[in-house]
Amino acid sequence: MTIETTEDDREIAPKAGRTLVESAYATLRREILDGAYEPGAKLRTEELRARYNISGSTMREALTRLLGEALVTSEGQRGFRVAPASLEDFRDLTEVRKLIETEALRQAIAVGDEAWESQIVATFYRLSKVEERLAEDPAAPLSEFEARNREFHHALIAACPSRWLHHMIGLLFQQSERYRRIALAKRTVPRDVHAEHRAIFDATLARNTELACQLTMDHIERTLTVLRTALEPPGFQRAR
Protein backbone atom coordinates (compact mmCIF):
# COMPACT_ATOMS: atom_id res chain seq x y z
CA MET A 1 0.00 0.00 0.00
CA THR A 2 1.35 3.43 -0.95
CA ILE A 3 0.64 6.36 1.31
CA GLU A 4 0.48 9.61 -0.58
CA THR A 5 2.16 12.64 1.01
CA THR A 6 0.18 15.80 0.67
CA GLU A 7 1.61 19.31 0.52
CA ASP A 8 0.24 19.94 4.03
CA ASP A 9 2.11 16.87 5.33
CA ARG A 10 5.35 18.14 3.82
CA GLU A 11 4.86 21.50 5.54
CA ILE A 12 4.02 19.97 8.93
CA ALA A 13 7.12 17.74 9.10
CA PRO A 14 9.74 20.51 9.10
CA LYS A 15 7.63 22.57 11.50
CA ALA A 16 7.49 19.64 13.93
CA GLY A 17 11.26 19.23 13.61
CA ARG A 18 11.84 22.90 14.38
CA THR A 19 9.54 22.63 17.41
CA LEU A 20 11.59 19.72 18.79
CA VAL A 21 14.83 21.62 18.28
CA GLU A 22 13.39 24.71 19.95
CA SER A 23 12.16 22.67 22.92
CA ALA A 24 15.48 20.86 23.40
CA TYR A 25 17.42 24.10 22.98
CA ALA A 26 15.24 26.03 25.45
CA THR A 27 15.31 23.25 28.08
CA LEU A 28 19.07 22.68 27.94
CA ARG A 29 19.77 26.41 27.86
CA ARG A 30 17.68 26.95 30.97
CA GLU A 31 19.40 24.07 32.77
CA ILE A 32 22.83 25.47 31.93
CA LEU A 33 21.85 28.92 33.18
CA ASP A 34 20.29 27.44 36.33
CA GLY A 35 23.52 25.57 37.09
CA ALA A 36 22.19 22.06 36.56
CA TYR A 37 25.36 21.44 34.54
CA GLU A 38 28.67 22.62 35.96
CA PRO A 39 30.89 24.85 33.79
CA GLY A 40 33.10 22.61 31.68
CA ALA A 41 30.80 19.58 32.11
CA LYS A 42 30.69 17.08 29.25
CA LEU A 43 27.41 17.12 27.29
CA ARG A 44 26.97 13.61 25.92
CA THR A 45 24.71 13.70 22.90
CA GLU A 46 23.39 10.18 23.36
CA GLU A 47 22.46 10.77 26.98
CA LEU A 48 20.72 14.04 26.14
CA ARG A 49 18.97 12.47 23.16
CA ALA A 50 17.56 9.71 25.36
CA ARG A 51 16.63 12.13 28.11
CA TYR A 52 14.67 14.44 25.80
CA ASN A 53 13.40 11.56 23.65
CA ILE A 54 14.56 13.11 20.38
CA SER A 55 16.85 12.10 17.55
CA GLY A 56 20.60 12.58 17.67
CA SER A 57 20.51 15.05 14.79
CA THR A 58 17.86 17.16 16.55
CA MET A 59 19.92 17.21 19.74
CA ARG A 60 23.06 18.19 17.84
CA GLU A 61 21.18 21.05 16.17
CA ALA A 62 20.07 22.33 19.59
CA LEU A 63 23.66 22.08 20.85
CA THR A 64 24.89 23.95 17.79
CA ARG A 65 22.53 26.81 18.62
CA LEU A 66 23.93 26.96 22.13
CA LEU A 67 27.41 26.90 20.62
CA GLY A 68 26.48 30.03 18.68
CA GLU A 69 25.49 31.70 21.96
CA ALA A 70 28.83 30.70 23.54
CA LEU A 71 27.04 28.75 26.28
CA VAL A 72 28.52 25.54 24.91
CA THR A 73 31.94 24.74 23.46
CA SER A 74 32.80 22.19 20.78
CA GLU A 75 35.67 19.71 21.00
CA GLY A 76 35.66 18.68 17.35
CA GLN A 77 34.93 14.96 17.14
CA ARG A 78 34.85 14.66 20.92
CA GLY A 79 31.51 16.40 21.35
CA PHE A 80 30.32 19.33 23.42
CA ARG A 81 30.93 20.81 26.86
CA VAL A 82 29.28 23.54 28.94
CA ALA A 83 31.28 26.72 28.41
CA PRO A 84 33.78 27.35 31.21
CA ALA A 85 33.18 30.13 33.74
CA SER A 86 35.76 32.09 35.70
CA LEU A 87 36.25 35.37 37.51
CA GLU A 88 38.64 36.48 34.80
CA ASP A 89 36.04 35.82 32.13
CA PHE A 90 33.38 37.72 34.06
CA ARG A 91 35.78 40.61 34.70
CA ASP A 92 36.32 40.86 30.95
CA LEU A 93 32.56 40.70 30.31
CA THR A 94 31.99 43.39 32.92
CA GLU A 95 34.46 45.84 31.40
CA VAL A 96 33.08 45.38 27.88
CA ARG A 97 29.49 45.72 29.11
CA LYS A 98 30.30 49.01 30.80
CA LEU A 99 31.76 50.40 27.57
CA ILE A 100 28.97 49.18 25.29
CA GLU A 101 25.93 49.79 27.49
CA THR A 102 26.88 53.31 28.51
CA GLU A 103 27.40 54.29 24.87
CA ALA A 104 23.97 52.87 23.97
CA LEU A 105 22.43 54.71 26.94
CA ARG A 106 24.01 58.00 25.85
CA GLN A 107 22.52 57.62 22.39
CA ALA A 108 19.12 56.59 23.78
CA ILE A 109 18.92 59.61 26.11
CA ALA A 110 19.87 61.92 23.24
CA VAL A 111 17.02 60.81 20.97
CA GLY A 112 14.47 59.07 23.21
CA ASP A 113 10.87 60.29 23.01
CA GLU A 114 7.80 59.96 25.24
CA ALA A 115 7.12 56.43 24.05
CA TRP A 116 10.64 55.46 25.13
CA GLU A 117 10.09 57.06 28.53
CA SER A 118 6.76 55.26 28.94
CA GLN A 119 8.41 51.91 28.22
CA ILE A 120 11.05 52.58 30.87
CA VAL A 121 8.36 53.48 33.44
CA ALA A 122 6.36 50.31 32.68
CA THR A 123 9.33 47.94 32.85
CA PHE A 124 10.65 49.56 36.03
CA TYR A 125 7.25 49.10 37.68
CA ARG A 126 7.18 45.38 36.78
CA LEU A 127 10.76 44.92 37.93
CA SER A 128 10.01 46.68 41.24
CA LYS A 129 7.17 44.26 41.96
CA VAL A 130 9.48 41.26 41.51
CA GLU A 131 12.17 42.87 43.64
CA GLU A 132 9.61 43.39 46.42
CA ARG A 133 8.76 39.68 46.34
CA LEU A 134 12.44 38.70 46.42
CA ALA A 135 13.01 40.98 49.40
CA GLU A 136 10.22 39.19 51.26
CA ASP A 137 11.32 35.72 50.16
CA PRO A 138 15.03 35.48 49.17
CA ALA A 139 14.50 31.80 48.29
CA ALA A 140 12.00 32.66 45.54
CA PRO A 141 12.92 31.55 42.00
CA LEU A 142 15.15 34.01 40.18
CA SER A 143 13.78 33.35 36.68
CA GLU A 144 11.12 36.06 36.84
CA PHE A 145 13.60 38.58 38.23
CA GLU A 146 16.02 37.81 35.41
CA ALA A 147 13.27 38.32 32.81
CA ARG A 148 12.08 41.63 34.32
CA ASN A 149 15.66 42.81 34.84
CA ARG A 150 16.42 42.12 31.18
CA GLU A 151 13.27 44.00 30.08
CA PHE A 152 14.19 47.05 32.16
CA HIS A 153 17.77 47.26 30.92
CA HIS A 154 16.59 46.77 27.35
CA ALA A 155 14.02 49.57 27.74
CA LEU A 156 16.72 51.96 28.95
CA ILE A 157 18.58 51.66 25.65
CA ALA A 158 15.62 50.95 23.36
CA ALA A 159 15.86 54.35 21.68
CA CYS A 160 19.51 53.81 20.72
CA PRO A 161 19.59 53.83 16.90
CA SER A 162 22.58 51.47 16.52
CA ARG A 163 21.56 47.96 15.50
CA TRP A 164 25.04 46.61 16.24
CA LEU A 165 25.12 48.03 19.75
CA HIS A 166 21.82 46.29 20.47
CA HIS A 167 23.16 43.01 19.06
CA MET A 168 26.35 43.17 21.12
CA ILE A 169 24.52 44.13 24.32
CA GLY A 170 22.09 41.24 23.91
CA LEU A 171 24.98 38.79 23.59
CA LEU A 172 26.92 40.21 26.53
CA PHE A 173 23.85 40.39 28.77
CA GLN A 174 23.06 36.78 28.00
CA GLN A 175 26.63 35.68 28.71
CA SER A 176 26.48 37.44 32.07
CA GLU A 177 23.29 35.66 33.16
CA ARG A 178 25.01 32.63 34.67
CA TYR A 179 27.26 34.87 36.74
CA ARG A 180 24.40 37.12 37.86
CA ARG A 181 22.48 34.11 39.13
CA ILE A 182 25.46 32.99 41.20
CA ALA A 183 25.86 36.49 42.64
CA LEU A 184 22.14 36.78 43.48
CA ALA A 185 22.09 33.35 45.09
CA LYS A 186 25.20 33.95 47.22
CA ARG A 187 24.24 37.38 48.60
CA THR A 188 27.65 37.65 50.28
CA VAL A 189 27.80 41.46 50.03
CA PRO A 190 24.94 43.68 51.30
CA ARG A 191 23.32 45.21 48.25
CA ASP A 192 20.11 47.07 47.47
CA VAL A 193 19.61 46.22 43.81
CA HIS A 194 16.24 47.97 43.75
CA ALA A 195 17.83 51.23 44.92
CA GLU A 196 20.45 50.88 42.16
CA HIS A 197 17.74 50.42 39.56
CA ARG A 198 15.74 53.33 40.98
CA ALA A 199 18.76 55.65 40.75
CA ILE A 200 19.41 54.68 37.11
CA PHE A 201 15.70 55.10 36.35
CA ASP A 202 15.56 58.59 37.87
CA ALA A 203 18.75 59.82 36.21
CA THR A 204 17.72 58.50 32.80
CA LEU A 205 14.27 60.11 32.85
CA ALA A 206 15.88 63.35 34.07
CA ARG A 207 18.12 63.16 30.96
CA ASN A 208 21.17 63.41 33.20
CA THR A 209 23.41 61.48 30.84
CA GLU A 210 26.64 61.54 32.83
CA LEU A 211 24.99 60.47 36.07
CA ALA A 212 22.91 57.76 34.37
CA CYS A 213 26.03 56.32 32.70
CA GLN A 214 28.07 56.41 35.91
CA LEU A 215 25.29 54.70 37.86
CA THR A 216 25.02 52.05 35.15
CA MET A 217 28.75 51.34 35.31
CA ASP A 218 28.61 51.11 39.11
CA HIS A 219 25.62 48.77 38.89
CA ILE A 220 27.40 46.42 36.49
CA GLU A 221 30.63 46.54 38.52
CA ARG A 222 28.90 45.63 41.80
CA THR A 223 27.90 42.23 40.44
CA LEU A 224 31.57 41.48 39.82
CA THR A 225 32.38 42.55 43.39
CA VAL A 226 29.70 40.24 44.81
CA LEU A 227 30.82 37.31 42.67
CA ARG A 228 34.47 37.83 43.55
CA THR A 229 33.64 37.76 47.26
CA ALA A 230 31.48 34.67 46.82
CA LEU A 231 34.07 32.65 44.91
CA GLU A 232 37.36 33.65 46.51
CA PRO A 233 38.54 31.32 49.28
CA PRO A 234 38.48 32.53 52.91
CA GLY A 235 41.56 34.50 53.86
CA PHE A 236 42.43 35.25 50.23
CA GLN A 237 44.41 38.47 49.89
CA ARG A 238 44.38 40.32 46.55
CA ALA A 239 47.51 42.16 45.51
CA ARG A 240 47.33 45.89 46.11
What is the model's pLDDT at position 40? Answer: 87
91 and 176 inside one domain = yes
**Threshold 0.85, pTM exceeds:** no
165 and 70 inside one domain = no
27 and 96 inside one domain = no
pLDDT in tens, 51-77: 888 888 888 889 988 888 888 998 777
What is the model's pLDDT at position 226? Answer: 82
Q: What is the DSSP string of 51-97?
A: HHT--HHHHHHHHHHHHHTTSEEE-GGG-EEEPP--HHHHHHHHHHH
132 and 154 inside one domain = yes
- Going by pLDDT thresholds of 50, 70 and 90, the confidence category of residue 29 is confident
119 and 78 inside one domain = no
pLDDT in tens, 202-234: 999 999 999 999 999 999 999 888 888 766 644
Instruction: State the average pLDDT over residues 34-47.
Output: 85
- Going by pLDDT thresholds of 50, 70 and 90, the confidence category of residue 30 is confident
114 and 186 inside one domain = yes
pLDDT in tens, 143-161: 788 889 999 999 999 999 9
Domain count, the chain: 2
Note down the domain range covering 219: 87-231
